[in-house]
Amino acid sequence: EADIYQTPRYLVIGTGKKITLECSQTMGHDKMYWYQQDPGMELHLIHYSYGVNSTEKGDLSSESTVSRIRTEHFPLTLESARPSHTSQYLCASSVGPNTGELFFGEGSRLTVL
Amino acid sequence: AQTVTQSQPEMSVQEAETVTLSCTYDTSESDYYLFWYKQPPSRQMILVIRQEAYKQQNATENRFSVNFQKAAKSFSLKISDSQLGDAAMYFCAYRRITSGTYKYIFGTGTRLKVLA
């Protein structure tokens, strides 16, 4: 199994709360990604990072923000959660360019009431 | 822009039988990676199989094999001797090989049911 960890696995919170989803990997990968996925649906890239202090927005617009201060850590923050943010958030990492494989965490399922 | 299409939202297969999941993609690149990922219910997404476009030989991993047709831009996954543990969402994905570009494009997924 890949060494990439997400916490919390499940979170139920009220509207307006600030939340941070944690993602850590112990593989030394430079590239890290956040995907948003509704149950049983496709993945949408919302943020990615190619290294420390490098972050970019993905293809799906998101009100969340990310930071990459350390190679192994790529947290995602929502300043004020809304019901429309209810979804599963998947963190992933890769080492490129020659191996290609994405390694995924187990996901954080967020429900905003 | 590159796209990945999975036209089968759901497939069913009897245990021990063979099933093929379809994937087509569109790209103007000549070198790229193609992947099949498996996402079991409430579990981690894992890589099933990978194909480099410059390799003509189809990739195989135990019971999993692909039929890679580069000219047709087709990349199907064949699962032989299906097992109950194969039940999952399967995603086809594409990534350019060009250095500096590490974004992956995923299809919409195919839910595979395995019937006992």
For residue range B23-81, what is the model confidence (pLDDT) as tens digits? 999 999 888 999 999 999 878 899 999 999 988 889 999 999 999 999 999 999 999 99
What is the model's pLDDT at position B101?
A: 63
Tell me the one-letter amino acid at A73: H
Of the candidates A88, A62, A80, A89, the residue with the CA atom closest to the CA atom of residue A14: A80
Predicted local distance difference test score (pLDDT) of residue A1: 56
Which helix (H) or strand (E) is B69 found in, with range? Answer: strand B64-69
Round to whole Å and give the CA distance between A4 and B89: 20
Instruction: Report the 10 Å Cβ neighbour count for B26.
Output: 12
The reply to whether residue B44 touches residue A31, judged by beta carbons under 8 angstroms, is no
**Nearest-angstrom CA–CA distance, A89 and A85:** 10
Q: Is A48–B103 a contact, with Cβ atoms under 8 angstroms apart?
A: yes
* Chain A residues bordering chain B (beta-carbon distance below 8 Å): 1-2, 31, 33, 40-43, 45, 48, 50, 58, 90, 94, 96-97, 100-102, 104-107
CA atoms of A102 and A72, how far apart (whole Å): 15
> What is the Cα gyration radius of chain A?
13
Q: Name the closest residue on chain A to residue B108, using Cα atoms.
A: A42
The β-bridge partners of A66 are A76
Cβ contacts of A102 on chain B, cutoff 8 Å = 35, 37, 47, 93, 104
What pLDDT is attached to residue B91? 97
According to the model, what pLDDT value does residue A99 have?
65
pLDDT surpasses 80 at B102: no
Mean pLDDT comparison of B10-19, B40-49, B50-59, B101-110, highest-scoring range:
B10-19
Residues of chain B contacting A33 with CB distance shorter than 8 Å:
104
Q: How many residue pairs from chains A and B have C-beta atoms closer than 8 A? A: 54
Contact flag B33-A100 (C-beta cutoff 8 Å):
yes
B95 → closest Cβ in A41, A43, A100: A100
C-beta atoms surrounding A64 within 10 Å? 20
- Sheet of A76-78: strand order equals A4-7, A19-25, A76-78, A65-66
User: Chain A partners of B108 at a C-beta cutoff of 8 Å?
Assistant: 41-42
The CA-atom distances, in angstroms, between B101 and each of A73, A96, B70 are 21, 9, 21
Tokens coding B59: 């990739």
Higher pLDDT, A109 or B1: A109
Q: How far apart are CA A18 and CA A5, in angstroms?
A: 21
Please give the Cα distance from A38 to A45 (Å, whole number).
12
pLDDT of residue B99: 61
Q: What is the pLDDT of residue B43?
A: 83
What confidence score (pLDDT) does residue B41 get?
A: 86
Interface of B with A in 28-87 (CB under 8 A): 33, 35, 37, 43-47, 50, 52
Single out the residue of A95, A92, A109 nearest to residue A23, CA to CA.
Answer: A92
Tens-digit pLDDT string for chain A (113 aa) = 568 999 999 999 999 999 999 999 999 998 999 999 987 788 999 999 989 999 999 888 888 999 999 999 999 999 999 999 999 999 999 876 566 789 999 999 999 99
Residue A70, Cβ density class (10 Å: 0-12 exposed, 13-18 middle, ≥19 buried): exposed
